[in-house]
């Protein structure tokens, strides 16, 4: 009798648990997204109807599939219309602010400039990095934020302060010059073998340069291990980019597809390699003047648990990869492509470098004096910002402008659209014109707060100064030794992976001066 009662109790509890799990699933997949959309709809905010489980992913993929590469003669720089035509279509139908879905995740897209300003400059810990991004794959998807929520972000910002990071960058100038010299010497040798002009794809060279810099800057004497780590992070980025539109599809990240298995393997290997370097440094009790040491000292001064400390160290190394390695390499490729397509500006930059450096290698003082080069880099980052979207999640009910944003809603502002709006930047907004930055960002457009290639406000990317120093030194040294133009093989096709990069690479014809 008692056994029967026990079995009934177990069966009852099992049924209750099953019903609870089903209700939780239905709530997550259907009820909660529908509730959030309903709250926005009551404020007059509409949007494209989502499909079950997929949301609006089909429409987005269909739009991406229609992209056609351009020849150098056809080339335009309107990234927004190429990569995000679906947003333009939805904006025409639903207005400047609407809601769409990635899987079961409702996202509030806004082009209301007042809302954009309030969102990007918000200091509240109740607005932070979208939890779906963090749960999916960690900080590689973020924009200037290293951790999962406002509180941990604020703590990280306190122990790795921007001014400390900037001081570290000043000590890396010689290192950047050495890596640039290695790259230039390799091009010299290629030109000698060809007895003249070389026709090469530069992207792998940019990554080699940037990887060398960041490996030495981050891991010091362990830079060889750093190169292995960043090579695997590159592979991880490529694998993640295949899933970038599928983040919101429930359960997809747990299915052992070929790509997911590759992601899991690389994530495990990256974590293991980083912690191996940390443990080796701990055992030898060595202290080095590198970025890893700064991260370790910051973590040691906190009250992290062992698991939290390991995650903090790994996440920050990943962020340095994106900010100092991938972002710099891609930005260098775009900037050189633009200079190759504009001989006039290439000559202006070369003349400035010759005048400022007077035959010497660049240093921290000379790169500060390179105003024309700064204008060119600013314009390149305007047309091809590495990260396309500023994304935030409301961790509690918030209000921006006239819109009440319910807890759990993600808010997106599209950086490439803001960077190329003729109403803000003038009728030549989709053209390469560095002259617009002659008086800085404040003089370049009507609303300077919309220019945010490294983020904006309190969540500006910590790696900004390192990336800019790398770009300035590398390009200054290249133009002082070579002339270059676009190869007839070049196909202009910006592609959105985790950053906006040249889909087919940048092919150049290069000659020695």
The 10s digit of each residue's pLDDT in 461-500 is 666 778 889 999 999 999 999 999 999 999 998 988 778 8
Quick one: tokens of 378? 């600013």
Whole-number pLDDT of residue 435: 97
Q: 249-287, pLDDT tens digit by residue?
A: 656 666 777 878 888 888 888 888 888 888 877 776 666
Residues 6+ apart with CB under 8 A from 249: 53, 54, 55, 57, 102, 103, 104
Per the prediction, the chain carries an average pLDDT of 81
Q: What are phi and psi of 405, to 5 degrees?
A: -100, 110
Give the whole-angstrom CA distance, residue 329 versus residue 206: 5
Which residue matches tokens 């803001």?
Answer: 418
| The domain defined by 43-512 carries CATH number 2.40.30.30 | no
Whole-number pLDDT of residue 462: 63
Q: What are phi and psi of 54, to 5 degrees?
A: -90, -20
Do 414 and 111 contact (CB within 8 A), yes or no? yes
Give the whole-angstrom CA distance, residue 156 versus residue 480: 40
Whole-number pLDDT of residue 271: 86
Q: Residue 449's CB: how many other CB atoms inside 10 A?
A: 16
The 3 state secondary structure assigned to 68-97 is CCECCCCCCCCHHHHHCHHHHHHHHHHCCE
Say if residue 164's pLDDT is above 90.
no
Write the DSSP assignment of 126-183 as a string of letters: TEES-HHHHHHHGGGG-SS--SSSHHHHHHHHHHS-HHHHHHHHHTTHHHHHHHHHHH
Say if residue 376's pLDDT is above 60.
yes
């Amino acid at each position: 009798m008692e056994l029967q009662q026990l079995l009934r109790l177990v069966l009852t509890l099992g049924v209750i648990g099953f019903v609870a799990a089903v209700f939780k699933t239905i709530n997550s997949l259907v009820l909660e997204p529908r509730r959030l959309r309903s709250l926005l709809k009551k404020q007059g905010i509409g949007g494209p109807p989502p499909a079950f489980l997929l949301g609006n992913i089909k429409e987005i993929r269909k739009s991406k599939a229609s992209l056609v590469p351009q020849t150098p003669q056809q080339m335009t720089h309107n990234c927004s219309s190429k990569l995000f035509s679906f947003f333009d279509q939805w904006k025409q139908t639903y207005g400047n602010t609407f809601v769409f879905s990635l899987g079961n995740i409702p996202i509030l897209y806004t082009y209301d400039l007042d809302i954009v300003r309030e969102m990007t400059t918000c200091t509240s810990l109740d607005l932070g990095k979208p939890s779906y991004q963090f749960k999916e794959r960690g900080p590689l998807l973020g924009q200037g934020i290293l951790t999962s929520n406002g509180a941990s972000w604020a703590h990280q910002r306190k122990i790795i302060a921007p001014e400390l990071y900037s001081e570290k960058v000043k000590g890396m100038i010689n290192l950047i010059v050495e890596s640039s010299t290695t790259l230039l010497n390799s091009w010299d040798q290629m030109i000698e073998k060809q007895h003249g002009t070389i026709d090469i794809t530069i992207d792998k060279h940019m990554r080699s340069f940037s990887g060398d810099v960041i490996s030495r800057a981050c891991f010091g004497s362990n830079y060889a291990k750093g190169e292995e780590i960043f090579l695997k992070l590159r592979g991880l980025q490529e694998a993640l980019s295949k899933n970038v539109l599928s983040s919101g599809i429930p359960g997809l990240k747990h299915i052992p597809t070929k790509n997911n298995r590759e992601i899991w393997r690389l994530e495990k290997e990256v974590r293991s390699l980083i912690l191996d370097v940390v443990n080796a440094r701990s055992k030898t009790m060595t202290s080095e003047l590198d970025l890893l040491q700064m991260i370790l000292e910051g973590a040691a001064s906190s009250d992290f648990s062992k698991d939290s400390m390991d995650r903090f160290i790994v996440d920050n190394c990943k962020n340095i990869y994106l900010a100092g390695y991938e972002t710099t390499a891609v930005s260098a490729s775009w900037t050189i492509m633009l200079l190759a397509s504009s001989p006039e500006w290439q000559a202006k930059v070369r003349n400035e470098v010759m005048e400022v450096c007077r035959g010497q290698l660049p240093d921290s003082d000379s790169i500060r004096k390179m105003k024309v080069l700064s204008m060119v880099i600013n314009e390149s980052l305007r047309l091809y910002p590495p990260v396309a979207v500023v994304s935030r999640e409301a961790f509690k009910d918030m209000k921006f402008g006239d819109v009440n944003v319910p807890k759990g809603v993600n808010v997106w502002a599209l950086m490439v659209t803001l960077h190329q709006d003729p109403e803000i930047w003038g009728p030549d907004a989709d053209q390469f014109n560095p002259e617009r930055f002659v008086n800085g960002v404040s003089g370049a457009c009507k609303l300077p707060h919309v220019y945010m290639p490294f983020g904006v406000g309190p969540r500006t990317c910590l790696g900004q100064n390192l990336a800019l120093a790398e770009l300035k030194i590398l390009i200054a040294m290249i133009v002082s030794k070579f002339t270059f133009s676009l190869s007839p093989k070049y196909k202009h096709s910006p592609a959105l992976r985790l950053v906006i990069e040249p889909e087919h690479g940048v092919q150049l014809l290069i000659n020695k001066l």
